[in-house]
Structure 1
Amino acid sequence: MDLVSTLFNEYRALVSLLLSLMVLVVVMTIWWDKVSFWWLNMWYAFPLIGKESRLAKDYETQVKIYDKDWLNTEVALCTDFAAHYEKVNKDEELFSKSQDYLGKVTENGRNNLHILGWILIAALVFVEAMGFSYVLSGFTIPGASEKLQQQGAVGIAFIISVLLVGLTHFTGHELHANSLIKKAKVWWKNAKNRDKATPELAPNTRINLDKTFDDDDEPQYKQVINRISTNAEVKPRYFITTITAIAIIVIAVLATYVRGQVLEKMHIDEVMIKTSGEMYQTQDPYAEAPPAFLVAEAKSADDKAGGDIWEREQKGGWGTFIFLAFLFVLLQIFGILIGFKTGFAGKHSKDARKEIGNFKSEREFKTHYSRLKQQVARVAQKRLTNLQQRMNQKAEINCQDPKVLQVLEACGDRSFLMYMEDLGNAENRYDQSVRLREHQTLASHQAMKNTPAAAEKAAVAKVVDDVVTESPEQMEARLKAELIADAAAKQAAEAAAQIETPEQAEQRIRQELLAEMAPPPKVAETEEQMRDRLRKELLGELS
């Protein structure tokens, strides 16, 4: 505190300037969009050195934007203001997407920790850390002065506070993410018990805030897993939690031990001071020495009183230290709970929460951003109109090119909203082409994945259908046709080399008649038996 007072007294102006700059930086960071838009408008409006004055000098350079003729200076102005227009170009669909994303990841109703909450937690941890950092500084900076030990205590407390606040907050986030994983696994196991064809518990990494409706037909557990970061086994992780628990226990135990040692040291110092005082205490040489038993009794009484006092101090001190350690651990648990109840585990939940803001309905959301869009468009159109007027004035004096004059005369057909509409149409066409390409790629992959299995399944089904539906007569006809074709080919080859004699013809006819008169087999023939029989009959006919 002495250091802070000295800084304020001796460097009051410098400290005030630094604090003012810090406040200004914080304000500009929070309201940066409004500040940057205000500065852009002012920078265009500056006379002589403003951007509008400089752009007005170039009224001849033409460009073609989205199949329309524009002047390069007009495009430059519209591009500068388009960045701010896009930030407020939001409709109710974005509000619905954000609500849908938070609802599917079961984080609707959650918020990030407010800046006041951060300040409160940091202050509590800093005050708690100061209680034992001053004790630690005596051993960290041995032999240092009281002032230097105080400065060291502040530094140690700051380091401990930063570490503990960060660890406890991230531990809360980790536990919250683990709770979502456990919830999804319970839902998945319940669905798996009901239906054996349950999809695998694997995330779809394509899901984001713009594609949040793509998994509407998937189970709820899959929707949660699609939106959080998990390991390959989709199991809870306790890495940060373990580190935080070890850090809290080590700090609490060591701080309590060091406090106890300091208490022992203080007692030893008091005993030494008392003993030294008794040794150098001067007595009256003329006084009569008290009896020895009275001196012994007095010394025993003093020792007993001193021992009782030290025992009470020791018990009270250790009780206080244990209570402070318990309070320290309780404070860290409080920080973990705050981290568990605030923040988001979803990969895009923070952005979704930011888009929703404090709006309670889509109508309120749309009304707010419609007003902001009109404000930006009105300012941008004003700057564009002023620029076009300046270029017309300069061209009437300095330009004789009829094409340039014609483009300048048609400046009323070019507006900021027209530029934004063409830009939006181009972006929509690009998004549609990207989605079409993604759909085609996904369909081709699915077809490649399913084609071999489908072909194999169809072939097997065809064989099964043929075996099941083919009757013995059809089988015989099919095999006979195959054998006749083979025999015809052989007969054609033999016909050129040999002519049938009358004896051979008589023998062949006799065999055919005997075969026709033979009774049919009583046992159903197999395909191989039928093939052999028909082969013999045909050979007989051909011979």
Structure 2
Amino acid sequence: MDELKLFLAAYWQLITVFVSFMLFVLALKVWWSEVKFFVMRTGWSFPLIGRLARAGRSDHKLGGDGWYPIEKRVCSDFYEHYKDFSQSPDYYEKCDDYLNKVEESGRSEKGPFLWALIIGLILLEAVGFAYVLAPFMAKNASSNEQTMLAWFVAFLLSIAAVFLTELTGKEWHKNSLLKKIRGWWEIEGKQKKLNLMPEKDISIDKTYNDNNSLKFQQVLNRVPANASVTPTYTATVITLVYICFLAVGAYLVRSYTLDADNTEMVNQAVMFEQTAADDPMALLEQSAESEDDIALPAELAQVNETATKKAEDEATSARSSASRVTFVILSVIFVMIQVVGIYFGFAFSYAGKESVKARNYTKNFNSAEELNDWLELKKDLIASQAEAYLQRLREKMSRRAVISSDEQEALQVGSTQRTFHHYLANQAVKKQVQATTPIVTQSSVVVSQVVAATPVVASVQTEPTPVEVATPAAAPVQVAAQTAEQSLPAELADVDLTKLSEEDLTVLAEDFELDLAWLKKQQRLAIIKSKSRTSV
């Protein structure tokens, strides 16, 4: 206990720096999204050199869409974080379904307690390595410099060991899933001659797309694998070589150091005897002692000297054996610490492509309602901050020395149409257009193919027969466009009104200066026509 106190008192600076660094890395891992959001906002608001400050010193032109490019840049940066919380109302159930299908429903990531334990194990390993390496680090350096360098190298070796054991544990967990896939495929899929390869690109949002697939296929759709879907042991081999190298190397260094110390002790004893033989005072003391002692016969003196030499050799051998056993125990302890690290990596890791993401959205909530309330709170917070940054940007731009009256009017009057909520509405419109474009293209291809085949049919029949084209059911995009093609702006021609919420309609009405009641009526008409088309 006293040695531990002396050690902590001597190297508390190094220990403090190391623990602080590990806590900093842990905080980055846990709150990475918040850190990114903070860095982004700091980049905009930093005094003098921040983007807001530079925007106030630059000239800007109003774009053709009615937005200043710098305003869209602000909205775009905030939108990148806003998207992380724009999940569907059933996202909680999707996350649960994803984890269940990938066989990782009951797993969890490492908590603060386990991370504290890992940091403690790293310190323990570093202490052991530092004691081994310190005597051999930079022979010409001072004792403190040798210790500092030994600690640095020991920390690097320990952190590398933790990293490799974590990778090995994850590899073992992934291999266990791959073995399950092959086992289930042998039972279910091989007899049906099904290929052992992913059939779909499954994400959390598309997790219901393979509900009808076999179990091995559901897992394979979510776990990355090689072409043959076989376990790999690359990280395991590297980790085993690294652990064996450190364990055996530490034992050999300690053993050779012990042999050197024993040899040095023997040499010191011989040098002491030679020095005593040449010292007159030592000879007088030995003669005085010999006069007081009873002189032994030569044979008995030889036996006594042999017994004393044997006792010293046995004591030295016993100390050496005990030390080597201790070194073996220390190496075994080091290996067991690595085994614990591998187990942590195996038990607290995920192999699914989006399993970590799914777990993060479900671990702190008991129901979908709780998750949705939290998502709405985060979206409102980001939106309010985006609006505040837009307002600060316009204030900076309006204070420029050279600004025309048209620009001043655009900044003051048009700002009500250039809000973050309007930007969100525009992004929703773009998503709708992108989602509906493949459907229209597909239907047009079908129509063109049927029309191309019509002359062949007409040449056989005496009267032309109307061709029935199998188009997508309901075709809501075309219905919405036909219903209001004469009144809706061109930007909304391909928008499916039936899929927009009341909030989306309100934003669109404000953005395009439309009557909200009329827009709701158009949505209702589109829904009615869609239902009638479906029933037919």
TM-score (norm 1): 0.64
Aligned residue identity for 1:427: K
Aligned residue identity for 2:370: E
Aligned-partner Cα distance in 1 for 2:202–2:70: 40
Aligned-partner Cα distance in 2 for 1:122–1:389: 49
Shift of 1:127: 2.5
Shift of 1:176: 0.6
Partner of 1:451: none
Alignment of 1:447-526 (within 5 A): none
Contact 1:207 1:214 in 2 (8 A): yes
SS at match of 2:198: coil
Partner of 1:135: 132
Shift of 1:87: 3.6
Go from structure 1 to structure 2 and tell me whether the alpha carbon gap of 1:92 and 1:294 turns closer, same or farther (over 3 Å shift): farther
Partner of 1:63: 64
Residue 311 (structure 2) pairs with residue 305 (structure 1)? yes
Which of 147, 156, 161 aligns to 1:159? It is 156
Aligned residue identity for 2:428: G
Residue 103 (structure 2) pairs with residue 106 (structure 1)? yes
Contact 2:63 2:69 in 1 (8 A): yes
Alignment of 1:200-279 (within 5 A): 200-204=195-199, 206-279=201-274
SS at match of 2:104: coil
Residue 286 (structure 2) pairs with residue 283 (structure 1)? no
1:339-379 per-position Cα deviation (integer Å, ceiling 9, x unaligned)? 11122212222333334452222111110111222233344
Aligned-partner Cα distance in 1 for 2:171–2:240: 13
Partner of 1:452: none
1:404-443 per-position Cα deviation (integer Å, ceiling 9, x unaligned)? 97997676566432331221121132134357779999x9
Go from structure 1 to structure 2 and tell me whether the alpha carbon gap of 1:161 and 1:293 turns closer, same or farther (over 3 Å shift): same
1:497-520 per-position Cα deviation (integer Å, ceiling 9, x unaligned)? xxxxxxxxxxxxxxxxxxxxxxxx
Shift of 1:383: 6.0
Contact 2:164 2:235 in 1 (8 A): yes
Shift of 1:331: 0.8
Contact 2:179 2:231 in 1 (8 A): yes
Alignment of 1:179-198 (within 5 A): 179-192=176-189, 196-198=191-193
Contact 2:37 2:81 in 1 (8 A): no
Contact 1:122 1:161 in 2 (8 A): no
1:266-307 per-position Cα deviation (integer Å, ceiling 9, x unaligned)? 222222222332343333346438223453343233223213
Residue 366 (structure 2) pairs with residue 369 (structure 1)? no
Aligned-partner Cα distance in 1 for 2:189–2:78: 54
Alignment of 1:35-114 (within 5 A): 35-36=38-39, 39=42, 61=62, 63-64=64-65, 75=72, 78-114=75-111
Aligned residue identity for 2:201: R
Aligned-partner Cα distance in 2 for 1:109–1:45: 50
Which of 332, 336, 339 aligns to 1:333? It is 339
Aligned-partner Cα distance in 2 for 1:297–1:420: 101
Residue 301 (structure 2) pairs with residue 295 (structure 1)? yes
Contact 1:112 1:342 in 2 (8 A): yes
Shift of 1:39: 4.2
Contact 1:134 1:149 in 2 (8 A): no
SS at match of 2:64: strand
Quote the RMSD (CA, aligned, Å).
Answer: 4.7
Aligned-partner Cα distance in 2 for 1:247–1:399: 71
Contact 1:203 1:222 in 2 (8 A): yes
Larger gyration radius, structure 1 or structure 2:
1
SS at match of 1:370: helix
Contact 1:37 1:84 in 2 (8 A): no
Go from structure 1 to structure 2 and tell me whether the alpha carbon gap of 1:297 and 1:439 turns closer, same or farther (over 3 Å shift): farther
Shift of 1:73: 6.8
Aligned residue identity for 2:62: T
Of stretches 132-141 and 35-44 in structure 1, the one that deviates more from structure 2 is 35-44
Go from structure 1 to structure 2 and tell me whether the alpha carbon gap of 1:140 and 1:54 turns closer, same or farther (over 3 Å shift): closer
Go from structure 1 to structure 2 and tell me whether the alpha carbon gap of 1:415 and 1:326 turns closer, same or farther (over 3 Å shift): closer
Aligned-partner Cα distance in 2 for 1:32–1:246: 37
Alignment of 1:377-456 (within 5 A): 377-381=383-387, 399=405, 412=416, 415-433=419-437
Aligned-partner Cα distance in 2 for 1:23–1:250: 28
Shift of 1:78: 4.0
SS at match of 1:85: helix
Aligned residue identity for 1:32: V
Which of 145, 154, 165 aligns to 1:168? It is 165
Aligned residue identity for 2:38: V
Of stretches 367-376 and 323-332 in structure 1, the one that deviates more from structure 2 is 367-376
Partner of 2:492: none
Contact 1:172 1:337 in 2 (8 A): yes
Aligned residue identity for 1:100: D
User: How many residue pairs end up in the alignment?
Assistant: 423
Shift of 1:35: 2.4
Shift of 1:182: 0.7
1:468-523 per-position Cα deviation (integer Å, ceiling 9, x unaligned)? xxxxxxxxxxxxxxxxxxxxxxxxxxxxxxxxxxxxxxxxxxxxxxxxxxxxxxxx
Contact 2:53 2:396 in 1 (8 A): no
Go from structure 1 to structure 2 and tell me whether the alpha carbon gap of 1:259 and 1:365 turns closer, same or farther (over 3 Å shift): same
Go from structure 1 to structure 2 and tell me whether the alpha carbon gap of 1:435 and 1:209 turns closer, same or farther (over 3 Å shift): farther
Go from structure 1 to structure 2 and tell me whether the alpha carbon gap of 1:294 and 1:156 turns closer, same or farther (over 3 Å shift): farther
Go from structure 1 to structure 2 and tell me whether the alpha carbon gap of 1:174 and 1:8 turns closer, same or farther (over 3 Å shift): closer
1:234-277 per-position Cα deviation (integer Å, ceiling 9, x unaligned)? 11111211222222223222322332222222222222222332
Go from structure 1 to structure 2 and tell me whether the alpha carbon gap of 1:385 and 1:229 turns closer, same or farther (over 3 Å shift): closer
Of stretches 137-146 and 364-373 in structure 1, the one that deviates more from structure 2 is 137-146
Contact 2:122 2:155 in 1 (8 A): no
Contact 2:251 2:328 in 1 (8 A): yes
Go from structure 1 to structure 2 and tell me whether the alpha carbon gap of 1:359 and 1:299 turns closer, same or farther (over 3 Å shift): same
Aligned-partner Cα distance in 1 for 2:443–2:201: 12
Aligned-partner Cα distance in 2 for 1:432–1:176: 40
Partner of 1:343: 349
Contact 1:133 1:153 in 2 (8 A): yes
Aligned-partner Cα distance in 2 for 1:159–1:390: 48
Shift of 1:166: 1.6
Go from structure 1 to structure 2 and tell me whether the alpha carbon gap of 1:3 and 1:150 turns closer, same or farther (over 3 Å shift): farther
Identical counterparts, % of pairs? 29
| Structure 1 segments unaligned to the other structure (5+ residues) | 444-543
Aligned-partner Cα distance in 1 for 2:75–2:250: 62
Aligned-partner Cα distance in 1 for 2:88–2:359: 15
